[in-house]
Chains A and B, each alone.
Chain A
Amino acid sequence: METIKLKIDNKVVEVAKGTTILKAAREAGIHIPTLCYLHLHDLNIENKPAGCRVCVVEVEGRRNLAPACVTECTEGMVVNTHNIRVLNSRKTVLELILSDHPTDCLICAKNGNCELQSMAQEFGIRKIHYEGEQSTYREDTSPAIIRDIDKCIMCRRCEMMCNDVQTVGVLSAVNRGFMSVVAPAFEMNLDHSVCTYCGQCVAVCPTGALTEVDHTNSVIRALADPTKTVVVQAAPAVRAALGEEFGLEAGTLVTGKMAAALRRLGFDYVFDTDFAADLTIMEEGTELLDRITRHLNGDKNVPLPILTSCCPGWVNFFEHQFPEMMDIPSTARSPQQMFGAIAKTYFADKIGVKRENLVVVSIMPCLAKKYECQRDEFATDGNPDVDFSISTRELAHLIKQSNIEFNELPDEDFDHPMGESTGAGVIFGTTGGVIEAACRTAYELFTGKKLQKIAFEELRGMEYIREATIDFNGLPIKIGIAHGLGNARKLLQDIKDGKSEFHAIEIMACPGGCIGGGGQPLHHGDSSVIKARQKAIYAEDAGKTIRKSHENPYIIKLYDEFLGKPLSEKSHHLLHTHYFDKSKEIKTVE
């Protein structure tokens, strides 16, 4: 490897050729502030438009200051990262950004979590010396995401996520100069665009320009209403991240504390989405086996591979962009929706509460879930199966507002019957988890044998596209996994072109899976946080006594008492769905 020697702040540094000044400085332990720059190295995601100019440094012999994020080191270079010229320039740059930014920090959704705010604090900005017009733009509210473009600093992180990582292509910089904004085509609102609500734009937005639609007040109102019985479900990825909002190290599991907090918030029944994940496996796993068996028996009308359908961002993606492939995803609803459907029928009957008096709240690492629960097909007579979906971040706010000392809480269990889950349900929260859970059950149902080893290590990891073959008693089952919609697109295109043959494919819209979801505590560019959450998820699974969905006693009971068997008529009615072509067609007119 060719290396280069240079001096940064009088320190001799040796780096690989092609290294930027920013990276070289960081390797040498020198902190250069950045704003628009974002690097999630574990996920291979980088944004460096050199737009904000906060990272400028002085390079001796060069007339202008250089943006450290894009300037490559050269042999013998002498760099000053904090002399008076650099510090003054940075401060000016920041003041100029702030001069076109609302100063309503106290009531901003990102208050205390805003990178621009932290930087203003770090730089000791006390006065903005530049007065002038401020750009104004209408606020855009969709079912899941709010765009408040007045707070946008044009860092272009959202654009990079939407286009390069997710390949959804909703956001682009439009217009020119002072009028430029990041917006969907024709500046339409998000809900008219092909937005999947994956929320990755929100996850990386440094300011309050992109935030989730906040439903905490609706939840508080439901909890305060004596006529309502309020049931809560918490998704697997939430327990692996919620602790971060309370100062705990990333990867700290807070399952028991979360259950305790939910109970103290006043929920009448504290349940677990993992229970519904087990139910999903029963339906989806059976569907997988059914399709494979029929396919092997020569029924060529049965489409393979089967694609998972738990991820609402992914569902939105194929409805918009791959409508011709709508027959291959599983028809199984997501765990959130299965939970809602069972809660408002089976469980409501059990406790003798009318559907309209039962409120189902879900805690999700996801913003697309907000949209999913509002879909018309998931409501009966206008009453939705899941009333409100709030994110991990919103739950943290709710707990803080309610005078609950989270870290002091005891570990408590979920309630029965919909709080009992297996290790298979937990791993739904990470990339590779859904398909591993499906394999655990499908293998045993198909072969009639007990699994020797429950963990399928070959399905785990963080690589974007993974392939593995699982031996089902002599029958090789080919599995594909993709996380991040851009990678899902690649995999889908290969299937479309007949280049790859899989029996089953798991797709999750967010990089890392739900643990990296758009509703999770903000990682602020540190991708090791997502890795730590993944580790936590597998640790929770390993610690469970029951680790296969079909062995969940309450799931067995649910089929005995209510559903009959997987893919039964009742199951189809309550637990399966259909998809809609949302693409635009080019039509000719006279």
Chain B
Amino acid sequence: MANIKLSANKLDELREVCKSFNNEKGELINVLHKAQGIFGYLPAEVQEVIARELNVSVAHVYGVVTFYSFFTMLPKGEHPVSICLGTACYVRGAEKVIEEFKRILNINVGETTPDGKFSLACLRCVGACGLAPVVLVGEKVFGRVSPDGVKDIIAEYAK
């Protein structure tokens, strides 16, 4: 018999979330959304618990998690980096900025560095189009980022 391991208070919190949605199957996306808020990501154990609480198959939960780009099964880094791919940022070269982050951090979008410091994600428009291309690290906004400026941003957090 295999076991699913979770800490007791996290498990209670997760069950509470499911309960707040009346353990309804149709609320799966909302439950996952809240759960990711609690854990920062959606590890297999969390999906197993949610599947049981909502009485759906784990495969189905995993199907939903992998379908929506918002959900992630990897823990976010200490400094989550998000690059805006909205139209303004895109035409001003956001893609090259992404490439540079990927090159320096040696990870792909959606991944976290092995030391847990940085994770890389894309988002659509933060409403600062005048500053395009825009990069967010945690809550902090960096504007008019050029590929050359990427190493300085990383250096600022790498300490």
Contact = CB atoms under 8 A, between A and B. Distances in A.
A146 to B, nearest CB: 18
Interface residues of B, number: 25
A455 B48 CA distance: 47
A175 B59 contact: no
Interface string A549-590: 000000000000000000000000000000001111111111
A285 B116 CA distance: 62
Interface in B24-60: 44, 47-49, 52, 56-60
B54 to A, nearest CB: 12
Interface stretch (B3-11, B122-130, B138-146): B3-11
Nearest to B3: A587
Contacts of B56: 169
A69 B62 CA distance: 28
A172 B62 contact: yes
A584 B59 contact: no
B1 A185 contact: no
A184 B59 contact: yes
Interface string A169-199: 1111111100000011111000001000000
Nearest to A589: B5
B104 interface: no
Contact of B57 (A175, A185, A582, A590): A185
B6 A170 contact: no
B58 A185 contact: yes
A176 B66 contact: yes
A171 to B, nearest CB: 6
A172 B63 contact: yes
Contacts of A585: 1-4
Interface in A294-330: none
Given A582-B1, A583-B1, A586-B3, A183 B8 contact: no
Nearest to B52: A586
Interface string A434-453: 00000000000000000000
A176 B67 contact: yes
B135 interface: no
Contact of B5 (A183, A185, A186, A588): A588
Nearest to B6: A588
Contact of B7 (A171, A183, A185, A589): A589
B52 A175 contact: no
Given A185-B47, A585-B1, A586-B52, A174 B61 contact: no
Given A169-B58, A171-B59, A185-B61, A586 B6 contact: yes
Given A175-B66, A186-B44, A586 B60 contact: no
Given A584-B1, A586-B48, A587-B5, A163 B11 contact: no
Given A169-B57, A586-B6, A590-B7, A175 B67 contact: yes
Contacts of A589: 5-7
A174 B49 contact: no
B4 A586 contact: yes
B62 to A, nearest CB: 4
Nearest to B68: A176
Given A172-B57, A175-B67, A186-B44, A586 B62 contact: no
Given A169-B57, A170-B57, A586-B49, A185 B4 contact: no
Max chain B C-beta neighbours (<10 A), residue from A175, A585, A587: A587
B57 A174 contact: no
B155 to A, nearest CB: 34
B60 A169 contact: yes
A568 to B, nearest CB: 32
A460 B8 CA distance: 51
Nearest to A176: B67
Nearest to B60: A172
Contacts of B47: 185-186
Contacts of A193: 59
Max chain A C-beta neighbours (<10 A), residue from B2, B4, B44, B58: B58
Contact of A588 (B2, B11, B57): B11
B59 A172 contact: yes
Contacts of A175: 66-67
Nearest to B47: A185
A589 B6 CA distance: 6
B59 A174 contact: yes
A583 B52 CA distance: 12
A461 to B, nearest CB: 30
B3 A169 contact: no
Interface in B1-23: 1-8, 11
Contacts of A186: 44, 47, 58, 62
A590 B11 CA distance: 11
A176 B7 CA distance: 31
Contacts of A163: 57, 60
B49 to A, nearest CB: 6
Contacts of B52: 586
A586 B53 CA distance: 12
Contact of A584 (B2, B11, B66, B69): B2
Interface of A: 163, 169-176, 183-187, 193, 581-590
Given A163-B60, A586-B49, 8 more contacts: A163-B57, A169-B59, A171-B59, A174-B63, A175-B67, A186-B62, A588-B5, A588-B8
16 contacts: A170-B59, A172-B57, A172-B60, A172-B63, A174-B62, A174-B63, A176-B69, A185-B61, A186-B47, A581-B1, A584-B3, A586-B4, A586-B48, A587-B6, A588-B6, A589-B7
What are the 7 closest A-B residue pairs judged by CB atoms, nearest first? A169-B57, A172-B59, A185-B58, A172-B63, A588-B8, A185-B59, A185-B62
